[in-house]
Amino acid sequence: MVNAAEKLMIKRGNDDFTLTEVSKTGKVSIGSIYLRFDSKDDLIRAVHARVLARIEHDQNTMLNDLKDRDQTLDDFAFRFVDAYADLLKSYSPVLRPIMLRAANDSTTSTLGRHSAEKLSTEVRRHFLYFEGEFGRSDHHRLAETAFRMIYCTLARYLGLGSSPEAANEGNWEELKEDLAIMCAAFLRAKPRP
């Protein structure tokens, strides 16, 4: 039934479906849905928790694959942006409806924020391997800002969050390349005199 609800969310782009539709899609009775979940909201939150667990696993795998410390900041920026962008894109069909719901559901919002903060901390730690190449002294702020710029740009392209109408503007491969270049340049930038 969680699989069925996730499929319906992806198909519709929102959580505007009935438990009867979940029952038909998942080939389970309405009664069995109510045995596991008190409400449709609880079912949707279960979908969200499961999706976040998959994303977290895939993000950890991605970051572990990028741990080659012999590379330069430029190499890491290119490899990270490419891998993270593709991972985010692969989850965008299910993230879109979850993020729409998060705007009005504090439980969903809190879970998503907690997951995003964990990723941000890990990415910042990876960027800090290259702090010797940073142009300014506030390394933690710079690494956090670099990740925020990457995430916000990718999320906008993928139509996640508040501006789904902006999805798919421009060339995906060029966007990834430009983001990696901008990220490394931002981190290397010297302070203004």
Please check whether residue 41 lies inside any domain of the structure. no
> Residue 25: its pLDDT value, please?
92
Please check whether residue 59 lies inside any domain of the structure. yes
Please check whether residue 52 lies inside any domain of the structure. yes
> Residue 70: its pLDDT value, please?
64
Please check whether residue 121 lies inside any domain of the structure. yes
Lowest mean pLDDT, pick from 39-53, 83-97, 162-176: 162-176
> Residue 104: its pLDDT value, please?
85
Please check whether residue 119 lies inside any domain of the structure. yes
- Number of folded domains in the chain? 1
The CATH number given to whatever domain includes residue 97 is 1.10.357.10
pTM for the model stands at 0.89
CB 27 within 8 A of CB 110: no
Please check whether residue 43 lies inside any domain of the structure. no
Q: In which domain, by residue range, is 92 found?
A: 48-188
Please check whether residue 179 lies inside any domain of the structure. yes
> Residue 76: its pLDDT value, please?
94
> Residue 161: its pLDDT value, please?
72
> Residue 153: its pLDDT value, please?
94
Please check whether residue 38 lies inside any domain of the structure. no
